[in-house]
């Protein structure tokens, strides 16, 4: 096999996925359909796994394929499919190309760290707490980095382009208001981006072998994979050229051993060897020399389990904070939201909070930008999971984009017919804040925007009209809350902890007029 071609293929495939995923997070025109987006994200391990647990459909089988591939070839996901991995490769490559060329620092196995993180993640997720994945899933982290850091830059460039074209009376581009997502989410993305940059400049792919639970899990699988990278002891001169380009630092030149569980499959070593001594091929796993170096790691695995065990004691605390964390709006008046409004398709807070990894794809895809990452609305355990923020905008009645793009199944796909009667929350009216009540002038902005007329205007005092609400037919879109001009709001939507079916508005037939009559003036 020509290893050069193999390595090139890896780079090309990883760049294709990287660019496609980057595009769907940057795009503000909804250029890709929901099914196209889900195809692009088919191989994303954690979303696919969560989706499979929730739905058990073929559409969510990507993670099984990845696992099988890992059992045959090693960590293909890390080498070619993970966007965060490719981002690290690009940063590392840029540093090598444009900065001072430096051999990546030697990486220790950090087995204790990585196995602890993996076990903790697995156990907490089994207990129904997705929080570790919120912070550690590589795909979701990449999504947030793009949505929070690169998308605004892209929108700015778009707006500059639009301005330039508009001055020539060309309106093919249009300006877009970037809109801040959420400070915590942005700060976390900045911190992670700097960490990734620093690690990849210094060590190449250390993140993937320490903090990333997916990397560690697939590493365990690749321990017993059929094909492995190894050094051919008959030709290896221990020159060290392979380990100098190794992104995972997993080649021990002295003992001529490769810790394949830490290999991220960059294939650099294959092309670096002057004697063709690095081999990617069938290797028996039960050879003593392969297992022996891992002995200390086994101990770490056990130690990790202990740490996890003890920290599990803390998990009920987290869960408690999740349950008790329902936001109570601290405005001077009475706007009390018992529950945040979760996006359409979320089914219930329980379902949504258990399955969302806060990748921010729905945040990016939402045409009205009403979907924003939460802070503590879902409690600490659900930090950054998106909610509908009716101060930004409202949920378009004839739109189901978010439910179509969600890769984890936290939002289940909806048809427009389903969406039209889906009740995300219920309207509540606070008369004492209302302009009509306070100033005795007409307003009615809430009723104007209501798609089901769950907010109507009733005669009030002399010639005025005051809102009256009918929560049964309210879909909780938040149009009334958004449009309300008072501060604090006089009308708002309190989220439903379980999404309900709204009653359909009763429609009476209208009498058609006789248009042949004369003008009334």
Partner 1 sequence: MKRRDFLFKGLGAGILAGSGVSMNGFSRLMGNPAAPEDGDIDLVAIKGTSPADMFDEGIDAYGGISKFVKPGQSVVVKPNIGWDAVPERAANTNPELIGRIVKRCYEAGASSVSVFDNTCDEWKKCYENSGIESEVNDAGGTIIPGNSESYYKDVKVGEGKTLTETKVHELILNSDVFINVPVLKSHSSAKLTIAMKNLMGVVWDRRWWHKNDLHQCIADYTTFRKPDLNIVDAYRVMKRNGPRGVSNEDVILLDSMVISTDIVAADAAATKLFGLEPEDIPYIVIADEMGIGTMDLSKLNIKRIKM
Residues of this chain that interact with partner 1 (CB under 8 A) are 167, 169, 171, 174-177, 367-368, 396-399, 435, 439, 441-445, 447-453, 456-457, 463, 465, 483, 485-486, 505, 507-513, 515, 518-521
Cβ distance to partner 1 smaller for residue 30 or 348:
30
- Minimum Å gap between C-beta 446 and partner 1 is 8
* DSSP H/E element including 491: strand 491-501
User: Which residue lies nearer to partner 1 by CB, 197 or 396?
Assistant: 396
Least distance CB 26 / partner 1 (angstroms)? 17
Check: CB of residue 86 under 8 Å from CB of residue 226: no
Q: Can you give the three-state secondary structure of 112-143, one letter per residue?
A: HHHHHHHHHHHHHHHCCCCHHHHHHCHHHHHH
Write phi, then psi, for 121 (nearest 5 degrees). Answer: -60, -50
Shortest Cβ 188–partner 1 spacing (Å): 28
Among 335, 337, 388, 340, CA closest to 366? 388
DSSP conformation letters of 12-30: HHHHHHHHHHHHHHH-SS-
Q: Which is nearer to partner 1, 175 or 292 (CB)?
A: 175
CB of residue 457 vs partner 1: minimum separation in angstroms?
5
Report the distance separating Cα 296 and Cα 303, nearest Å: 11
Could you identify the residue written with the tokens 């200390």?
A: 296
Beta carbon nearer to partner 1, 347 or 445: 445
In the complex with partner 1, the residue whose CB is nearer, 96 or 368, is 368
> With respect to partner 1, which residue has the nearer C-beta, 167 or 288?
167
DSSP H or E stretch at residue 302? helix 295-312
For 42-53, b/e burial (b = at least 16 CB within 10 A) is bbbbbbbbbbbe
Biggest CA-to-CA distance, the chain: 105
What are the helix (H) ranges across 137-210? 138-145, 151-166, 183-203
User: Shortest distance, CB of residue 388 to partner 1, whole angstroms?
Assistant: 14
SS3 435: helix
- Centre a 10 Å sphere on the Cβ of residue 349 and count the other Cβ atoms it contains: 24
Q: Which is nearer to partner 1, 100 or 463 (CB)?
A: 463
Beta bridge partners of 372: 387
> Rounded to whole angstroms, how far apart are CA atoms 347 and 413?
10
Q: Which is nearer to partner 1, 398 or 417 (CB)?
A: 398
Q: How far is the CB of 161 from partner 1 (least distance, A)?
A: 14
From the CB of 132, what's the least distance to partner 1, in Å?
A: 36
Closest to partner 1 by CB, 147 or 443 = 443
Work out how close the CB of 41 gets to partner 1 at its nearest, in angstroms, rounded to a whole number: 24
Torsion of CA 409, 415, 420, 422, to 10 degrees: -30
Cβ proximity to partner 1: between 95 and 372 the closer is 372
Nearer to partner 1, 212 or 454 (CB): 454
- Which CB sits closer to partner 1, 249 or 471? 471
Instruction: Determine the 3-state secondary structure of 345 from DSSP.
Output: coil
Q: Name the minimum Å distance from CB 415 to partner 1.
A: 17
Q: Which residues pair with 426 in a beta bridge?
A: 494
Residue with Cβ nearer partner 1 (417 or 518): 518
> CA nearest 400: which of 427, 421, 425?
421
Residue 174 C-beta: closest distance to partner 1, Å: 5
Residues 6+ apart with CB under 8 A from 295: none
**Pair of tokens at residue 204:** 């190449």
CB of 176 to partner 1, least distance (A): 7
Q: Which of 85, 166, 62 is nearest to 408 (CA)?
A: 62
Interhelix angle 183-203/83-98, rounded to 10 degrees, is: 50
b/e per residue 70-79 (b: at least 16 CB within 10 A): bbebbbbbbb
Q: How far is the CB of 364 from partner 1 (least distance, A)?
A: 15
Strand segments (E) across 344-463: 371-373, 386-388, 422-429, 455-460
How far apart are CB 464 and partner 1 at their closest, in Å?
A: 10
Number of residues that make up the chain: 521
């Amino acid at each position: 096999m020509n290893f050069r071609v193999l390595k090139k293929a890896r780079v090309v495939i990883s760049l294709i996925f990287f660019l496609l995923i980057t595009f769907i997070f940057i795009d503000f025109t909804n250029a890709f359909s929901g099914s196209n987006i889900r195809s692009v994200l088919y191989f994303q391990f954690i979303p696919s796994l969560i989706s499979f647990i929730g739905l058990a459909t073929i559409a969510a089988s990507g993670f099984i394929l990845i696992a099988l591939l890992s059992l045959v070839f090693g960590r293909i996901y890390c080498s070619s499919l993970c966007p965060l991995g490719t981002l690290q490769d690009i940063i590392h490559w840029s540093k090598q190309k444009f900065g001072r060329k430096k051999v990546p620092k030697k990486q220790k196995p950090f087995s204790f760290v990585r196995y602890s993180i993996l076990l903790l993640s697995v156990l907490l997720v089994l207990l129904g707490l997705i929080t570790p994945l919120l912070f550690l899933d590589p795909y979701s982290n990449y999504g947030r980095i793009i949505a929070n850091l690169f998308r605004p830059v892209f929108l700015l460039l778009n707006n500059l382009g639009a301005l330039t074209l508009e001055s020539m009376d060309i309106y093919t581009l249009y300006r877009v208001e970037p809109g801040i997502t959420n400070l915590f989410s942005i700060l976390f993305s900045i911190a992670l981006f700097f960490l990734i940059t620093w690690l990849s400049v210094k060590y190449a792919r250390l993140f993937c072998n320490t903090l990333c639970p997916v990397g560690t899990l697939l590493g365990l699988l690749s321990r017993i994979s059929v094909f492995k990278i190894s050094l051919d002891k008959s030709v290896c001169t221990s020159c060290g050229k392979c380990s100098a380009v190794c992104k995972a630092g997993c080649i021990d030149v002295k003992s001529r051993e490769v810790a394949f569980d830490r290999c991220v499959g960059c294939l650099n070593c294959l092309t670096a060897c002057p004697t063709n001594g690095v081999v990617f091929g069938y290797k028996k796993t039960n050879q003593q020399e392969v297992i022996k170096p891992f002995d200390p790691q086994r101990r770490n695995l056990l130690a990790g389990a202990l740490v996890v065990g003890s920290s599990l004691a803390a998990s009920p605390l987290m869960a408690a904070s999740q349950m008790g964390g329902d936001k109570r709006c601290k405005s001077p008046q009475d706007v009390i939201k018992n529950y945040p409004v979760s996006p359409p398709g979320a089914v219930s807070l329980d379902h949504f909070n258990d399955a969302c990894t806060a990748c921010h794809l729905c945040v990016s895809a939402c045409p009205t930008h009403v979907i924003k990452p939460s802070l503590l609305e879902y409690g600490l355990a659900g930090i950054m999971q998106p909610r509908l923020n009716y101060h930004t905008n409202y949920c378009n009645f004839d739109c189901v984009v978010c439910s179509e793009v969600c890769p984890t199944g936290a939002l289940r796909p909806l048809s427009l017919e389903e969406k039209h009667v889906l009740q995300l929350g219920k309207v509540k009216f606070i008369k004492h804040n209302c302009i009509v009540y306070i100033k005795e002038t007409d307003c009615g902005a809430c009723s104007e925007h209501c798609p089901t007329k769950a907010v109507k205007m009733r005669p009030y005092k002399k010639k005025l009209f005051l809102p009256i609400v009918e929560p049964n037919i309210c879909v909780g879109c938040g149009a009334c809350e958004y449009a309300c001009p008072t501060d604090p709001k006089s009308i708002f939507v309190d989220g439903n902890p379980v999404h309900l079916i709204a009653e359909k508005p009763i429609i009476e037939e209208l009498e058609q007029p006789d248009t042949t009559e004369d003008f009334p003036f």
